[in-house]
Each structure stands twice: as structure tokens, then as C-alpha cells.
Amino acid sequence: MARQLDNTHEGSCHCGAVRLTLPSTPEVATACNCSLCRRIGGPWVYFEFGTVDIQGHPEATAEYIQGDKTLRTIRCRTCGCVTHWEPLKPTPGCKHGVHLGNFDPKLIAAVRVRRFDGADTWKFIDD
Ligand SMILES: [Zn+2]
């Protein structure tokens, strides 16, 4: 879980079955209050889909597809920790979200978290 010299960051779910490597240091994370995010937490950091190395997925994971069927949230089948979400129909350059809680507390503390009103206005509600 140490920070790498090349600015990649390694994290994992609680039991270690799912391991993720961020390609670069995130500067901003999003805390969302929508019906799903307020339950599974976050904050989320976003990367181009395919640039985050994810080990143990899908063999050690389970998915949840919410009502509008645009993305799947992925969790570890063993410890239940949500690791990321991904688009159901990826398009070139599209982004996906990684749950920052799976990473080093020092990284979490260093990333600016913005509050996003996904429940209502679909806008950031901080300054
Ligand atoms: Zn796990």
C-alpha cells in the first residue's frame, strides 16, 4: 500500500482478494449523496476506463446493477467492500469510478473531496 515512485497507488478490498492500482495520483474525489452512493460510500476517484489495473475481478467479485442500467458497482464476494464501478457499455475514453476508501489513509487524506448532489441537482454543493 506504499506510494510508488511513479505516482501509481496500490489498494485493495479489506480481505485483499481484489487489488487495484491507480495509474496516477488523484487530486479530487467526489462524495455523492445519491441513493446508491450514500449507502456504499466513497469518495470516488475517476480514471479512464481500463487504466486502473484491477486484479481479482471478476473472479472474486459480485456486481450490482441499479435501475437505470448504465453501470455496475463491484464488490468483493468475501469481505463485501465496494471497490469500483464500471460502465455496462464502455465507450472510448469513458471514465469509471474507484472507491478511494480501499487505499492508503495518507492518500485519502491528501485528496480534496468535493460534495456532489447526485440525489437532486446533479451539481457540486461545495465552494
Ligand atoms: Zn475482499
Q: With a threshold of 0.75, does the pTM exceed it?
A: yes
Distance 15 CA to ligand 1 centre (A): 4
Alpha carbon of 61 to ligand 1 centroid (Å): 8
User: What pLDDT, in 10s, does the model give residues 39-57?
Assistant: 999 999 999 999 999 999 9
* Distance from the alpha carbon of residue 32 to the mean position of ligand 1, in angstroms: 23
Q: Tell me how far the alpha carbon of residue 27 lies from the centroid of ligand 1, in angstroms.
A: 26
pLDDT value of residue 126: 82
What pLDDT is attached to residue 5?
A: 66
Determine the distance separating the centroid of ligand 1 and the alpha carbon of 58, expressed in angstroms.
Answer: 12
Give 75 Cα–ligand 1 centroid separation in angstroms: 8
The secondary structure of the chain, three-state, reads CCCCCCCCEEEECCCCCCEEEECCCCCEEEEECCCCHHHHCCCEEEEECCCCEEECCCCCEEEEECCCCCEEEEEECCCCCEEEEEECCCCCCCEEEEEHHHCCHHHHHHCEEEEECCCCCCCECCC
pLDDT at residue 127 in the model: 64
Residues of the chain whose pLDDT is less than 50?
none
